[in-house]
Amino acid sequence: MSGRSSFAPLKNSSASNILKKFLIEPTFYGLFALLLLYILLNQTPDRGGFDWLFAFRTAARGEPSIIITPYWVNFLSFIPAHLPEPLGYSLWISAGYIALYIAARWVKAPIWVMMLSYPIHWCLYHGQVDLFLAGAALGLWSAQKQKPYLAGAAILILLIKPHITVLAAILIFWWLEEKKKAAIVVLAGIASSFILWPGWLESLLTQQLVSYTQRLPLSTWSNSSPHLPIWVSIPLAAVAIFSPLDKVRKLQAVLAVSLLISPYAPVYSQIMLLWFPLPIPIAALAILPWFGSLLQNELYYKVTCLVFPIAVILSLYWPYVSKKWPQRPKNQEIEVP
């Protein structure tokens, strides 16, 4: 691997060619080795899978859940939730991880670094839905190819975690020419969740969310974002949205900023930055929280949780700050086939 991963999407994009490319890629086997490891580790609830078993699985089955996520997430979790365990858990993490892997391979991201990162191991061990936030890649592709219905589906997936993805969802929506078609998909998905699981919003706001904030106030969570004050958050968000970055890097900047300004952005949500084409030294910073976690040093853990998104932002804007911004013809974009 070179020091900087070039943004060079897969060519010859037929299904057979893509499969052949995957089968000769060492990372493809690394993917399944890691999945197998966590499937074996999570054979019993006390060994992991907590978020899957007691949040997403129970919500999809209509049982009392600790979920604090909009219930259209059940469109992703419904089938795995109704399979016997541990098959359901295995399918859940496999689907999310494969989606992330495809997005990363698509843009030639540093996959081995991604596999060593702390966020991905957290998501696999606990069964967190953030693996599916690689749906941002589908949104990016749909916006570039002007596929509004697919873009609507991608936006709906992103809005599973609206507190950290709403800006990215707005950005993808804004890039579309036929916004109404995308809006129809999003609104239909949201409305269907209320029909299929009536009362979920009231339950979330009055029970689960209140319970979480009372038992463990956000300000004491050691793995969460700094939640920057509004007078800092608004300028940061504005710069990310209106900067002259191309679509790929603008989406990346918006997601990185969101991790800093959201009222709740845990370290495992940093997974949504790892499918992007990052320089290897920057991507490797996502490994640092391992040390804080293993050492059980809360201050070190908090600091290392912040290093990665901040470094991503600095790497994106450094060409502008150093007056070496790459010159491109007007309206030219880094195209994703």
Alpha helices in 220-297 (DSSP H): 230-242, 247-261, 280-283, 289-295
In a domain, 93, yes or no: yes
In a domain, 327, yes or no: no
pLDDT at res. 64 = 83
Give CA angle at 147 (120, 334), nearest 5°: 65
Please give the tally of structural domains in the chain. 1
Find out whether 70 and 76 touch, Cβ atoms under 8 Å: no
CA 219 to chain centre: 23
Q: How confident is the model at residue 80 (pLDDT cuts 50, 70, 90)?
A: very high
Identity of the highest mean pLDDT range in 4-13, 97-106, 150-159, 302-311: 150-159
Q: How confident is the model at residue 16 (pLDDT cuts 50, 70, 90)?
A: low
Poorest-pLDDT segment among 1-5, 213-217, 297-301, 319-323: 1-5
Query: In a 10 Å sphere around its CB, with 0-12 CB exposed, 13-18 middle and 19+ buried, how is residue 43 labelled?
Result: middle
| Closest CA relative to residue 4, chosen from 283, 328, 248, 296 | 283
In a domain, 164, yes or no: yes
In a domain, 334, yes or no: no
306 vs 327, which has greater pLDDT?
306
In a domain, 329, yes or no: no
3-class DSSP state of 124: helix
Instruction: Give the domain extent around 51.
Output: 15-321
CA 247 to chain centre: 17
| Closest CA relative to residue 115, chosen from 124, 106, 126 | 124
Distance CA 263, CA 255 (A): 14
In a domain, 328, yes or no: no
Confidence check: pLDDT of 124 > 50: yes
Query: Which whole number is the average pLDDT over 188-215?
Result: 79
In a domain, 7, yes or no: no
In a domain, 263, yes or no: yes
229 token code pair: 């004050």
Running DSSP on this structure, what letter comes out for residue 42? T
